[in-house]
Amino acid sequence: MIKLHFDGKECTGTKGQTILEVALANGITTIPTLCWLEGLHPEGACRMCVVEVEGSPKMLTACTSPAEDGMKILTRTDKLKEYRKQILELLFAGRNHFCMYCSASGDCELQALAIEHGMDSVRYPYLFPNIENDTTSSDFMVDRNRCVLCDRCIRTCQEIVGACSLGLEKRGWVTNVISDLGEKFGNSSTCVSCGACAQACPTGTITIREQAYRGRRKDCDKAVEATCPLCAMGCKINVHVRRNSLVRIDGVTGSKYADGGQLCRKGRIELLRASEGPRLTTPMIRSGAGFREASWDEVLDLITEKINKADKSKSGAVASLMTPIDELKYFAGFFGALGIKTDCREGRVPPEAKYVKESHVRSADDSINDRENEVNRMRSILAASPWLGVGSEPSEKEPVGKGMLSLDFLFFRTTGLVEPCVDVLDALDHSKFSVVQTPYISHPMAYLADVLIPAAAWFELAGICEPAVSIKEMCEVLESLAVRLAIKIKEV
Amino acid sequence: MYRSHVLICNGTGCHSGGATETTEAIKKEIEKLSLANEVAVVPTGCHGMCEMGPIIVVYPEGTFYCRVNPEDGVEIVREHLAKGRTVERLMFRESERISVASYKELPFYSKQKRIALKNCGYINPDSIEEYIGHSGYEALGKCLTSLTQEQVIEELKKSGLRGRGGGGFPTGLKWSFCAKSPGPKKYVICNADEGDPGAFMDRSILEGDPHSIIEGMAIGAYAIGADEAYIYCRAEYPLAIERLKTAIAQAEEYGLLGEKIFGTDFSFEIHIKEGAGAFVCGEETALMGSIEGKRGMPRPRPPFPAVSGLWGKPTNINNVETWANVPQIILNGGEWYASMGTAESKGTKVFALTGKVKHTGLVEVPMGVTLREIIMEIGGGILNDKKFKAVQIGGPSGGCLTEDHLDTPVSYEDLTRLGAIMGSGGLVVMDEENCMIDVAKFFLEFTQRESCGKCSPCREGTKQMLIMLDEITKGNGKIEDIKKLEELALMVKNMSLCGLGQTAPNPLLTTLKYFRHEYEAHIIEKRCPAHVCSGLITFTIHADKCKRCGLCTKNCPAKCISGDKNTAYVIDNERCVKCGTCIDKCPFKAITKE
Ligand SMILES: Cc1cc2nc3c(=O)[nH]c(=O)nc-3n(C[C@H](O)[C@H](O)[C@H](O)COP(=O)(O)O)c2cc1C
Ligand code: SF4
Ligand code: SF4
Ligand code: SF4
Ligand code: FES
C-alpha cells in the first residue's frame, strides 16, 4: 500500500496504479481527462490530466505516470489551470468546434472541459482546416472537423473490438483518423459496424446515424443497465431513456463485465431501431380485411372457444427465442397441459443487417443455436407435425402441397424485434385460427393473424420503461385462459 | 609493402562531387605508369571537409588535395606519385598565398581531437582487416576475456560519456539500468536515424567506420546481457546501409558476431532496420514502435526502454556516435576519456558546422572548447568577412546564441543554461544578413511538419506559433503577439509528450530572449533589419544614379518597373515580389532595398 496526497488530502493506493487511478479510487475529481478512457491503455496524448508534484519541476500526466509512495500531488495550481486552458483553446482553434451545429453538444467532453475551465474566448486564430467528412457508411458519420485526436476510437477498435479498422494518417497538424489505411468508412472491409468507436468518441466526430437526433445523453431522464435481449451472449447494455422512450444504447465500459463494454451492431443499432415500431395497445379481432378493437374478455372467450374446438394434434404454439425464460416456462406448462406442441423460434437475421464477423462476437450466433437446443426440450411442433418440416418452406418450394396443409389452432408469441421466419409465417398462413401476441403491429404477420393481443416490449419487461399501455403479461393471459378452459398449468 | 597510399574520400559529399570518376582516372594512370605495386589506392570514409571535395590525401607525406577532378587526379599521379613533386595548385589554401602541405597543419584539423571519427578518412570502411589493423575488435576481446560485465559498465561510468543523440544521458548509468532489469531476453539498439536536417555526423561514422559501431554495440550487449541488436538507419542512407551490411557480414565471417564470440559464452547478432526517415522516429520510443511495425509515435515514459523497450523487453538504445566512442574508452580507459572536457561533459563531440563560415564540414572537438574557437578558428571565420550575428546550435530544436556567447565553452551544462541544447551537434552560423525571426520560423516549420500529431500542445501549438511568426514576418504582427508567443512556447515546452515538442520552442524562445529588438523592429517599425522578410522590404530606384538603361524592367519577373528613356524608372512596390533581380541586374547600383 502506498500513501499519496492530493491537494493536501491523504489517499491510499497500491503500487502499480497510476496517479489517476489512485485519484479516482479516492474520489478525487479535480484531474480533467480527455484522451483517457477506462478500459483502454492510457495514451498520454491530450495532456489535460497533467499534475504537479511538490518538489519536482516536471509536469506529469496523471493517466500515465505511476503513483509513488509519498507523492504530494497538486491538481489545480494556477499554472496548471492556465496550461489546460491554453490546450483547450488550441483544440478549439484548430478545428471547427461550433457546438450549436453539433449533435454531441451537451454530451461532448471537450465542451464540458471548456465550460469547467472557464474558457470563454479563444486567443488564437481559428484555422478552419480543410478536412473531409466521411458519410459513406450507412451506420455512421465521421466529421473529422470535430476530432481532437484523442485516439480513443482507435484504441477501442484495436483493444476491445479487435477489428483494428482505425488508424492515423499523416503527421503534425494535418494528422487525421482514417479507416482501413485511408479507405472510406463505407467501404471498409475490416469494420464490423459495431459502433464502439462512436461511443468512445468524446466529441461529435463519430456519430451513429440511428442515435444522432433522438437526443443526447445529457437530456435523458435516466440510464438503465440491462442485458441485451437479442442473443444468449447477454452483453450488458446501458439504455438511455427520455420521456419513456429509448434514446441510445451504449455498451457498459470499463472492465466490469466480460464483454469489456463491447456490443455488436445489432445490440447497439438494430435493437434501438427495432424498439421503435407502432405499438399494439389493445386486443384486436379480425373483421373482414381489417381488425376491430375488442375487450380482453371478448378476446379470451374467443380463444377459449377455438382451443376447445381444435384438434390438439393439429394445433401448435410458437414462442420467440427472445422470450424471457420465465415466460417460456409458463408457455410450455400451459400448452403442455393442453397437449399442444410448442416450439421456439424467431426470425432470421434480416439480410441487410450486416452480421458481426469477429470471432468473439460471432459466438453470439452460435449461442442462439445453443439456446434453441435448450428450449428444444419442448420439442418442435412444426418439425414433428406431419404437414411441415423445419426449413421445408413449402410456400417457396412446394406451392401445390401447401394447400393441403392446415392447422386448427396456432398461438405465436413474438418480441417483434426481428421479422418472423418463413416457417412461422407459413404456419400462420395455414391456420384456421391464429393468435399473435406481440408488442408491435408488424407486417406481414399481423395480416395473417385472427386475433392480436398486446405484449410488453423487451424494455418494459426489463423494467427500463414503464409499460406504455394497459398490457397483460403472458402469465396473466395464460392464467385467465386456464381458468376458462378449466385446466391446471403444468410445472416446467 | 607500398611506398605510398592514396586515400580517396568516398563519403557522400565527395561521392556526389565525382570521387568515383577521379578514383577511376587515378587507378588507370597508376596502371599506365606501372606503379600498381608501389602505390595503393584506398577508398575511405569522410574527412569532414566536404565542401572541399573530392578530397585526396597522399601518405606518408599527408599531402591534402582538394576538389580533385579526374584530370587533376592524373596530374597527381604523374607529378606527385611518379616524380615526387607535389601539385601546389590543388593543395588546400589557408589564404591567398600560403598553401598548406600536410593534413595535420590544416587549422580545420589541428584544433580537432578525433575519437569517434578516429578512423574516418584513414581506413577503407569496407575492409575489416584495416579496422583490425587499427586495433579494431581489441576492445571487444578485452571485455569478453578479461572484464566482467560490471567492470565494463564501471569503465563507461568513469569515462563520463553522455549520450550523443541529444539527450545527453550518462551512458554508463543507462547501461547499468538495463543490466539490472531482469529477464533472459534483452536488446540493444543503435539509433542511426539522424533526422536533424543538415546533420551528417552519424552518417559519416556509419559510412567511414562501420566496424567501430558494431564493436561498440557488441561491448554494450555484453555489459547488459543482450544477445540481439538492431541498427535503425534511415533508408536515405543507402551507402551507410551497404557498408553496414558488408561490415556485419565480415564480422560474422571472422567470428566477431554470431555464436560464442572469442570462444566465450557470449553470442550476439545484429539486424539492420531501415526507417522511412521521419524525424520523430529518432525518438527512442517511436523508433522501437517503428521496428515493431507500428506507426512511429512516441509513448509516455515510464516505462523506460531499460525496463520495457523493444517488444516489451529491456532495451538499451544509444546513438551512433555514442557507440563509436565505446571501443576507444575500453582500450584507453575511462580516465583517459574523462581527462578531456569540462566538469559535466567529458570527451569529444562531433559537430556539423554549416552556414556562413568559410570552412563548413564535420568537426570533432574536445568538450569545453569555445564556440569562438569552432567558428573563428576551425571554421575560419565568417564567409566573405561579414559580421557574425548568431549561431544556432543543437539542430532544429536548438537555440540561437549571440556574439556575447561566443566564449561559452561547448558543454551540456553551459548550452542548456543559455536555452540552447547540444542536440546531436548541428551548428549553423549566421551573419548580419540572416533575419532571426525568419530563422526561428524556418526551424519551427520543420518541427511543426515533423510533429507526430499525437499530443495536443505540440501538434496544435507549433502550428499556432508558426502562424504568428509568419504574420510578424509579413508585417502584420501586433505587439501583444510577443507575449502570446512566449506563453504558448512555454506551455508547449512544458506540456508536450516527447522531446520533439519539449524542444521545438527553443529557437523561438532564444530569439525572443536574445533578439527581441528584431521582433520589435518587425512589429512596431514594420522593418526587417536584415532585409529578409519580403513583406517588410521595399525596393527603390535612385534617380541620381539611374542611367535609364532599362535592364531592370527587362529582367523584372513581376513586370512592375515602369519608365523609359525620358521618364524616371520606378518600382511599383505593391506588385513587386521582392526577388531582388533588379538589384543584381542594375549595372550602376542605382537600386537599393530598405
Ligand atoms: C524528436 C526526437 C528526435 C530524435 N532523433 C534522434 C536521432 O536522429 N538520432 C539519435 O541518436 N537520437 C535521437 N533522439 C534521441 C533519442 O530519443 C535517444 O535519446 C537517443 O537515441 C539515446 O541515445 P544516446 O543516449 O546515445 O544519446 C531524438 C529524440 C527526439 C525527441
Ligand atoms: S464500428 Fe467497431 S469495428 Fe468499425 S471502426 Fe468502429 S470500433 Fe472498429
Ligand atoms: S474520432 Fe473521436 S475518439 Fe477518435 S480521435 Fe477523434 S475525437 Fe478521439
Ligand atoms: S511532442 Fe510532438 S512529436 Fe512528441 S508525441 Fe507530442 S505530438 Fe508527437
Ligand atoms: S487524459 Fe492523460 S493525457 Fe489525456
ω before B60 within 30° of 0 (cis)?
Answer: yes
Residue A403 lies in a domain: yes
User: pTM (2 decimals)?
Assistant: 0.87
Final residue of a domain: which of A221, A251, A274?
Answer: A274
pLDDT in tens, A277-292: 888 989 999 998 889 9
- Which residue intervals of chain B bear CATH 3.30.70.20? 538-593
B128-337: which CATH number, 3.40.47.10, 3.20.20.70, 3.40.50.970, 3.40.50.11540?
3.40.50.11540
Selected residue of B469, B491, B500, B502 to mutate for chain A interface (largest A Cβ count, 10 A): B491
Same domain, yes or no, for A406 and A354? yes
Kindly state the cell numbers that stand for B230. 538492431
Write down the pLDDT at residue B98.
55
Residue A87 lies in a domain: no
Kindly state the cell numbers that stand for B534. 519580403
Chain A residues whose C-beta sits inside 8 Å of any chain B C-beta = 42-47, 50, 59, 61, 64-66, 82-83, 86-87, 90-91, 93-94, 123-125, 127, 148-149, 151, 167-168, 170-175
Backbone angles phi, psi at A438, to 5 degrees: -150, 150
Residue A467 lies in a domain: yes
Kindly state the cell numbers that stand for B451. 510533429
Write down the pLDDT at residue A386.
36
Final residue of a domain: which of A239, A274, A309?
Answer: A274
| Residue A85 identity (one-letter amino acid) | K
Write down the pLDDT at residue A309.
93
Same domain, yes or no, for A360 and A260? no
In degrees to the nearest 10, what's the CA dihedral of A261, A263, A267, A269? 100
Query: Which candidate, B511, B504, B503, B441, places its Cα nearest to that of B472?
Result: B441
Kindly state the cell numbers that stand for B285. 520510443
Distance CA A407, CA A424 (A): 12
Same domain, yes or no, for A325 and A371? yes
Write down the pLDDT at residue A383.
38
* Number of helical (H) and strand (E) elements in chain A, helices listed first: 18, 19
Residue A222 lies in a domain: yes
Residue A88 lies in a domain: no
Q: How far is CA A482 from CA A131, A320, A422, A473, A479, in A?
A: 66, 21, 30, 14, 5
Write down the pLDDT at residue A357.
28
In degrees to the nearest 10, what's the CA dihedral of B482, B488, B491, B497? -130
Question: Which residues of chain B lie closer than 8 angstroms to A174, CB-CB?
Answer: 453
Distance CA B585, CA B452 (A): 45
User: Nearest CA of chain B to the CA of A117: how many Å?
Assistant: 16
Final residue of a domain: which of A274, A292, A320?
Answer: A274
User: Nearest CA of chain A to the CA of B515: how many Å?
Assistant: 24
Query: Which candidate, B337, B309, B302, B307, places its Cα nearest to that of B322?
Result: B337
CATH class of B4-106: alpha beta
Which DSSP letter does residue A269 get?
A: I
| pLDDT at A394 exceeding the cut of 70 | no
With cut-offs at 50, 70 and 90, classify the pLDDT of residue A352.
very low
User: Any residues with CB less than 8 A from the CB of B136 and at least 6 apart, and which?
Assistant: B128, B211, B212, B215, B327
Number of Cβ within 10 Å of residue A290's Cβ equals 8
Cβ–Cβ < 8 Å for B367, B349? yes
Query: Which candidate, B149, B165, B388, B108, places its Cα nearest to that of B266?
Result: B149
Q: Does domain B348-431 have CATH number 3.10.20.600?
A: yes
The pLDDT profile of chain B, 594 residues, written as one tens digit per residue, is: 788 889 998 888 888 888 999 999 999 999 999 998 999 998 888 888 888 889 998 888 888 898 999 999 999 999 998 888 888 888 887 655 556 667 667 778 888 899 999 999 889 999 999 999 999 999 999 999 999 999 999 999 999 999 999 889 999 999 999 999 999 999 999 999 999 888 899 999 999 999 999 999 999 999 999 999 999 999 999 999 999 999 999 999 999 999 999 999 999 999 999 999 899 999 999 999 999 999 999 999 999 999 999 999 999 999 999 999 999 999 999 999 999 999 999 999 999 999 999 988 899 999 999 999 999 999 999 998 899 999 999 989 899 999 999 999 999 999 999 989 998 899 999 999 999 999 999 999 999 999 999 999 999 999 999 999 999 999 999 999 999 999 999 999 999 999 999 999 999 999 999 999 999 999 999 999 998 998 888 888 998 888 888 899 999 998 999 888 888 889 998 888 888 889 989 998 899 887
Question: Which residues of chain B lie closer than 8 angstroms to A151, CB-CB?
Answer: 454
User: Any residues with CB less than 8 A from the CB of A212 and at least 6 apart, and which?
Assistant: A103, A141
Cβ–Cβ < 8 Å for B19, B25? no
User: Any residues with CB less than 8 A from the CB of B175 and at least 6 apart, and which?
Assistant: B152, B153, B156, B220, B223, B224, B316
Asked if residue A451 has its Cβ within 6 Å of ligand 2, the reply is no
- Which residue intervals of chain B bear CATH 3.40.30.10? 4-106
Q: How far is CA B13 from CA A13, B10, B321, in A?
A: 59, 8, 19
Does B456 sit within 8 Å of A46, measured CB to CB? yes
User: Any residues with CB less than 8 A from the CB of B279 and at least 6 apart, and which?
Assistant: B195, B196, B396, B446, B447, B450, B500
**CATH number for the domain running over B538-593:** 3.30.70.20
Compare CB distances from B459 to A42, A123, A172 and report the shortest one's residue: A172
Q: What SS3 state is found at A74?
A: strand
With cut-offs at 50, 70 and 90, classify the pLDDT of residue A315.
confident
Does A66 sit within 8 Å of B453, measured CB to CB? no
Q: Look-up: residue for cell 550602376?
A: B588
**Terminal-residue alpha carbon distance, chain B:** 65
Same domain, yes or no, for A403 and A257? no
Going by alpha carbons, the residue nearest to atom 4 of ligand 4 is B498
Number of Cβ within 10 Å of residue B283's Cβ equals 27
Write down the pLDDT at residue A468.
65
Residue A94 lies in a domain: no
Torsion sign across C-alpha atoms B77, B80, B83, B84:
negative
Backbone angles phi, psi at A343, to 5 degrees: -150, 155
Same domain, yes or no, for A233 and A165? yes
| Residue B443 identity (one-letter amino acid) | F
User: Nearest CA of chain A to the CA of B109: how many Å?
Assistant: 40
**Terminal-residue alpha carbon distance, chain A:** 52
If one compares B105 and A439, the residue with the highest pLDDT of the two is A439
Range B425-454 burial, b when 16+ CB lie within 10 A, else e: bbbbbbbeebbbbbbbbbbbebbbebbbbb
* Residues pairing with B318 in the sheet: B190
Write down the pLDDT at residue A114.
97
pLDDT in tens, B155-209: 999 999 999 998 899 999 999 999 999 999 999 999 999 998 888 999 999 999 9
Does B464 sit within 8 Å of A47, measured CB to CB? no
Write down the pLDDT at residue B106.
75
Distance CA B94, CA A383 (A): 104
Q: What SS3 state is found at B218?
A: helix
Same domain, yes or no, for A290 and A257? no
Write down the pLDDT at residue B91.
86
Does B454 sit within 8 Å of A151, measured CB to CB? yes
pLDDT in tens, B518-575: 999 999 999 999 989 988 888 889 988 888 888 999 999 989 998 888 888 899 988 8
Looking at CATH, the fold of the domain delimited by B436-523 is given as de novo design (two linked rop proteins) (1.20.1440)
Selected residue of A89, A173, A178 to mutate for chain B interface (largest B Cβ count, 10 A): A173
User: Nearest CA of chain B to the CA of A391: how many Å?
Assistant: 49
Asked if residue B197 has its Cβ within 6 Å of ligand 1, the reply is no
Burial class (CB in 10 A: 0-12, 13-18, 19+), B148: exposed
Cβ–Cβ < 8 Å for B327, B139? yes
- Which residue intervals of chain B bear CATH 1.20.1440.230? 436-523
- Which residue intervals of chain B bear CATH 3.10.20.600? 348-431
Q: How far is the CA of B319 from the centre of ligand 1 (A)?
A: 7
Q: How far is the CA of B450 from the centre of ligand 4 (A)?
A: 9
Backbone angles phi, psi at B269, to 5 degrees: -130, 150
Instruction: Give CA angle at A218 (A215, A219), nearest 5°.
Output: 50
Kindly state the cell numbers that stand for B295. 506507426
Q: What SS3 state is found at B39?
A: strand
Same domain, yes or no, for A289 and A270? no
Same domain, yes or no, for A341 and A447? yes
Same domain, yes or no, for A264 and A318? no
Q: Computed over its alpha carbons, how large is the radius of gyration of chain A?
A: 28
| B444 → chain A, closest CA residue | A172
| B471 → chain A, closest CA residue | A125
Same domain, yes or no, for A256 and A288? no
DSSP H helical segments within B504-580, as ranges?
506-514, 516-523, 551-555
Same domain, yes or no, for A254 and A297? no
| pLDDT at A398 exceeding the cut of 60 | no
Q: How far is CA B72 from CA B9, B43, B54, B57, B268, in A?
A: 15, 17, 11, 13, 46
Query: What is the per-residue DSSP string for A345-382?
Result: ---PPPTTS----SHHHHHHHHHHHHHHHHHGGG--HH
Q: Which atom of ligand 5 is nearest to the CA of A42?
A: 2
Q: How far is CA A99 from CA A108, A118, A227, A256, in A?
A: 9, 16, 33, 33
Same domain, yes or no, for A265 and A148? yes
Asked if residue B492 has its Cβ within 6 Å of ligand 4, the reply is no
Number of Cβ within 10 Å of residue B133's Cβ equals 10
If one compares B471 and A348, the residue with the highest pLDDT of the two is B471
Q: Number of structural domains, chain A?
A: 3
DSSP H helical segments within A283-432, as ranges?
296-309, 325-338, 359-375, 381-384, 394-397, 399-402, 422-429
Does A125 sit within 8 Å of B464, measured CB to CB? yes
Kindly state the cell numbers that stand for B43. 577508398
Write down the pLDDT at residue B376.
93
pLDDT in tens, A361-389: 322 333 334 444 333 333 333 433 433 33
| Residue B134 identity (one-letter amino acid) | H
| A152 → chain B, closest CA residue | B454
Distance CA B391, CA B373 (A): 13
Residue A107 lies in a domain: no
pLDDT in tens, B301-344: 999 999 999 999 999 999 999 999 999 999 999 999 999 999 99
Distance CA B298, CA B287 (A): 8
Compare CB distances from A149 to B280, B453, B463 and report the shortest one's residue: B453
pLDDT in tens, A185-242: 999 999 999 999 999 999 999 999 999 888 899 999 999 999 888 776 778 899 999 9
Distance CA B212, CA B247 (A): 10
Compare CB distances from B494 to A59, A93, A168 and report the shortest one's residue: A59
- Domain holding A242: CATH number? 3.30.70.20
| B501 → chain A, closest CA residue | A172
Distance CA B330, CA B155 (A): 7
What percentage of chain A has pLDDT greater than the value 70? 83
In degrees to the nearest 10, what's the CA dihedral of A282, A285, A286, A288? -100
Does B461 sit within 8 Å of A90, measured CB to CB? yes
Number of Cβ within 10 Å of residue A366's Cβ equals 12
Q: Look-up: residue for cell 499530443?
A: B455
Kindly state the cell numbers that stand for B431. 551573419
Distance CA B421, CA B433 (A): 24
With cut-offs at 50, 70 and 90, classify the pLDDT of residue A391.
very low
Which ligand is closest to the CA of A269, given by its number?
2
Domain residue limits at A175: 123-274
- Domain holding A63: CATH number? 3.10.20.740
Residue A62 lies in a domain: yes
Write down the pLDDT at residue B95.
58
* Residues pairing with B349 in the sheet: B365
Compare CB distances from A83 to B453, B459, B491 and report the shortest one's residue: B491
